[in-house]
Amino acid sequence: MSQVARVFVVLNLVIAAGFLFAAATFLALNNDYKNQLEAEKKVHADDNQARDLKIGQLNDEVKSQQSQISALREQTSQKDGTISTQNTQIQSLQGDKSNLTAENASLIEANRAHADAVAKLQDDNKGLRDSNGTLATENRAKTKEAADAVAAKEAADKGIEDLKAAIHGHEKTITAQTESLSEKDLLIAYAKQKGVDFEKIQMAPNMSGHVVNADNGLRLVQVNIGKSKGMVRGAVLDVVRGDTYIGRVRIDTVFDNQSAGLLTIMADGQSVMVGDRVTNTLN
């Protein structure tokens, strides 16, 4: 191979290498450009989405403001009508004010006439007060007399009530004594019917004992006190249970160590029981 051919081959190799280098450089630049373009597209897409969202919000705000403007226009229209009505009312009130002014002037004139009449009435009232003072003095005297009369009547009424109460008390006492006498007469008649001779009855000494048998239906009571302890026919024994009063027994039959008699008094809701105490020493 000649020297020229070698140079030509070398030049071709150098040029080919240059083309390869340039191609590689252009390819790298092309890839960078594509990546940058994709990145910018993505940024633009995000910006467009944000702008669309903002535009939607602004559109909503515009619609809201338009609704508010419509409402305000309607309110303005209503207020204009109200203002027109109020203007009409003001005109009417102004007319009324003119009428009232005329009426007020008439009332002032009438008030002057009333003031003159009041002055005359005050003079008349002074004379009446003087007369009233005299009448008041007389009225106080009459009132005192009336109060004294009322007090005397109340005292008399109280005396009458006291007398009525005393009479009622006496009547109750008389009724009780009458009932007691009637009960005693019945007891005496019953005792005589049973053969009790009061002239032969002796006063029993103080004695105490207990119930040994009782029949509340027949009102019969048997006690453990007899002739040996001074029991006599016609004696009266009170029946007690602790601090409770049960009743009273009148002795009809007397044995040496026991006696029997009839219940003459029975306390309400009570009945004689075996073991109850009997005595003639209760106060």
DSSP string, the chain: --HHHHHHHHHHHHHHHHHHHHHHHHHHHHHHHHHHHHHHHHHHHHHHHHHHHHHHHHHHHHHHHHHHHHHHHHHHHHHHHHHHHHHHHHHHHHHHHHHHHHHHHHHHHHHHHHHHHHHHHHHHHHHHHHHHHHHHHHHHHHHHHHHHHHHHHHHHHHHHHHHHHHHHHHHHHHHHHHHHHHHHHHHHHHHHHTT--TTTPPPPPP-EEEEEEEETTTTEEEES--GGGT--TT-EEEEEETTEEEEEEEEEEE-SS-EEEEEEEE-TT----TT-EEES---
Q: Stretch 218-228: mean pLDDT, rounded?
A: 96
Among residues 245, 210, 205, the alpha carbon closest in space to that of 227 is found at 205
Q: What pLDDT does 89 receive?
A: 86
Best mean pLDDT range from 168-172, 185-189, 263-267:
263-267
For the chain, give the number of residues: 283
Q: What pLDDT does 28 receive?
A: 79
Residue 224 clears pLDDT 80, i.e. is over it: yes
Identify which has the larger pLDDT, 160 or 235.
Answer: 235
Q: Stretch 214-224: mean pLDDT, rounded?
A: 96
Q: What pLDDT does 235 receive?
A: 94
Model pLDDT for residues 34-81, shown as the tens digit of each residue: 888 888 888 888 888 888 888 888 888 878 888 888 888 888 788 888
**How does residue 220 score in pLDDT terms, banded at 50, 70 and 90?**
very high
Residue 194 clears pLDDT 60, i.e. is over it: no
Q: Stretch 234-262: mean pLDDT, rounded?
A: 96
Best mean pLDDT range from 10-24, 45-59, 111-125, 257-271:
257-271
Q: What pLDDT does 41 receive?
A: 83
Chain centre to alpha carbon of residue 233:
69
Residue 199 clears pLDDT 60, i.e. is over it: no
**Lowest-pLDDT range of 106-120, 194-208, 259-273:** 194-208
CATH topology of domain 202-279: Thrombin, subunit H (2.40.10)
Residue 173 clears pLDDT 60, i.e. is over it: no
**How does residue 249 score in pLDDT terms, banded at 50, 70 and 90?**
very high
